[in-house]
Structure 1
Amino acid sequence: MDNQMSNVTISVILPAYNAEETVVPALESICSQSFDAFECLVIDDGSEDATAARARSVTDERVRVLSRPRKGLVAALNFGLQQARGTFIARMDADDLCAPERFARQLALLRSDETLAAVGCGVRLFPDKNVAGGMRHYIDWLNGLLSPEQIANNIFVEMPLLHPSMMLRVQAMRDVGGYRVGEFPEDYELLLRLHGAGWCFAKVPEVLFYWREHEHKLSRTHSAYSPAAFRRVKAKYLSQIVLAQRPEFYFWGVGRDGKKFARELQQRGYLPERFIDIDPKKIGSSYLGIPIISPEELPGSVPLILACVGSRGARAQIRDFLLKRGLVEGQDFLFLA
């Protein structure tokens, strides 16, 4: 055991709370990895059921169960990061599954490009009967973002890598301070900090992670994962990373989502030179004291364009319009949500 544990490349951080029904299958999928130089840290966060006992029943010397009083997910993640002996962190939740090649494929991708702080992989939801249309749309969008460029261009739309499917460089995580506690999604906030520090992200295209869908997910029950919390953290890092250097911009979208995002930016001291919308009832009026123009009224030379539209298919139409004008996504325009 000592020799094997001294050769740890990957530290799996698996926080668990009251997961007695699912933790064993999750661990079995980890222990079945084709790449075997890893340790798996099960952080039992004060479970009130048999989670710890079930986890210890998995007879694999690479699995360490660390039980502690309940302090919450972020504290459990940071405790795992402190305990990690590997050069890379693989995230995993206690109710999900991964394919045998996940670690090998993700590690190879990380090692192939030193600019990558984290990589994901293709994701599939299960069981199918629990999956609603909105989640299918999100997974389709998520699985379509593979390259560093695609992910960077969409990083202010939504979390572009699924957290429990990620593998990250330990040093990159420690350099930016690990996970932070607050009224925001801790995974997205970490990714945005890494993005602001100049790191890139990518994905293995194959489906190697299976994400269990159920109504009790923390992302559905905690205010830190509310739409407003996501919008605040996006606006914060958009302001710090982009607008601090490029404060002049146009803002496309004066619908419900666009107005909410624009107000977040206003609170941070940023207002566009013009709003853009296609609704004839809005064109010619104003919002937040700023004139609303049509897309056709865009001048030949424009500053950065931020587009925040909620209608299905609208993003693709805006992208097509702006590309035909010779603008470059990620440089001349960015999408928000």
Structure 2
Amino acid sequence: MSDPLVTVLMPVYNGEQYLAEAIDSVLTQDAADFELLVIDDGSTDGTPEILRSYTDPRLRVVRVDHLGLIGALNHGLEVARGTFLSRTDADDLMSPGRLRRQLEHFEQHPATVACGTPYELFGAIEGIVRPPRGARACRAHLIFGSSVPHATVLIRADVIRRNNVRYREGYLQAEDFKLFSELSEFGELRNLSEVGLRYRQHPEQVTRRESDVMIRTHLRICVENLAARGVRFSEERMRRLLWPQGAGLTGVLVYLVRRLPVLLYLGARTGGLAGVGQALLVGRERVRGLLRR
């Protein structure tokens, strides 16, 4: 059996509630040659039964002892067979045509190592999240946060294998941010303009349960990315830029006077005009957050 062009990697642990919907959204993709690799991380609910109910030969299930998300993802990297690696989660829905559009993008942009898409929030929160698009903007954004939405990405698998890029155990809850920071050293990060994922919002999500861990890890990666570009900065100062205190007009005034100029300086110092543009977008979102409090 020849290796597929794309491996879609889906880790799952006790995901019976939404798993079938997620699988179906992948298996109905119109890309010609892919496998759906589900890493069952030792589920104890109905997940194994749901997986056994599928007869589609494109679905490949690998069951492991409970390794945790990072361990399951790294095992998936080891056993994936595709030339390209795609990601999606067991509670989200891949939009029709996504894989085909991303493969077309790679044909047109050979310097790209990872390509993501915007995504649509549904459930408890609704809206569309649009990440930076071009290579310069995506690289500039890495001093503020991940520039590629993880569950929307398609990656050149040989770049991962050749350079030993992995999900790092020390970066829990921001392992994707660290991964894309590493990948950016080997080629371009980009995002399409079309929505490629419907991202379910519900209380059981890991990012909701462990947000404090996520914030601390996120800040550490930001500071590391700044250091790699020759800028020394503390995690506490970065916290004030990205998770500002205060509320309402007073909070906005403090942010505009004290924080935004620093944000713009960091963007300009590390990314030129593209960095300034990303700093303005990040600052705008923080101002909106302060006004909503």
Q: When the two structures are superposed, what TM-score results if normalisation uses the length of structure 2?
A: 0.80
Out of 193, 201, 209, the position equivalent to 2:182 is 193
Out of 16, 20, 25, the position equivalent to 1:29 is 25
Residues 192 and 237, structure 1, Cα contact 8 Å, conserved in 2: yes
In structure 1, what is the equivalent of residue 218 of structure 2?
230
Q: Tell me if 1:77 matches 2:60.
A: no
Q: Tell me if 1:204 matches 2:192.
A: yes
Higher-Rg structure is 1
Residues 24 and 58, structure 1, Cα contact 8 Å, conserved in 2: no
Residues 12 and 89, structure 2, Cα contact 8 Å, conserved in 1: yes
Q: Tell me if 1:122 matches 2:109.
A: no
In structure 2, what is the equivalent of residue 54 of structure 1?
50
Instruction: Provide the rounded CA distance (Å) in 2 between the counterparts of 1:234 and 1:151.
Output: 14
Instruction: Provide the rounded CA distance (Å) in 1 between the counterparts of 2:122 and 2:256.
Output: 39
Query: Counterparts of 1:1-337 in structure 2 under 5 Å?
Result: 2=1, 6-127=2-123, 130-131=124-125, 136=127, 139-140=128-129, 143-174=130-161, 175-184=163-172, 185-195=174-184, 197-222=185-210, 225-240=213-228, 242-243=229-230, 257-258=240-241, 279=257, 305-306=265-266, 328-330=272-274, 335=279
Q: 2:273 is matched by which residue type in structure 1? A: E
In structure 2, what is the equivalent of residue 287 of structure 1?
none
The verdict on how the C-alpha distance between 1:7 and 1:147 changes in structure 2, with shifts beyond 3 A counting, is same
Residues 29 and 97, structure 2, Cα contact 8 Å, conserved in 1: yes
The verdict on how the C-alpha distance between 1:333 and 1:40 changes in structure 2, with shifts beyond 3 A counting, is closer
Instruction: Provide the rounded CA distance (Å) in 2 between the counterparts of 1:201 and 1:259.
Output: 22
Which runs of 5 or more structure 2 residues have no equivalent in the other structure?
Answer: 245-254, 284-293
**Structure 1 residue runs of 4+, over 6 Å off?**
331-334
Residues 142 and 225, structure 2, Cα contact 8 Å, conserved in 1: no
Matched-pair identity in %:
30
RMSD value, Cα = 3.3
Q: 1:257 is matched by which residue type in structure 2? A: R
- Structure with more relative contact order (C-alpha pairs < 8 Å, separation 6 or more): 2
Which runs of 5 or more structure 1 residues have no equivalent in the other structure?
Answer: 262-276, 283-291, 296-303, 308-318
- For residue 7 of structure 1, report the CA deviation from its aligned partner: 4.5
Q: When the two structures are superposed, what TM-score results if normalisation uses the length of structure 1?
A: 0.70
Higher share of residues assigned helix: 2
Residues 183 and 224, structure 1, Cα contact 8 Å, conserved in 2: no
Instruction: Provide the rounded CA distance (Å) in 2 between the counterparts of 1:108 and 1:333.
Output: 27
The verdict on how the C-alpha distance between 1:120 and 1:255 changes in structure 2, with shifts beyond 3 A counting, is closer
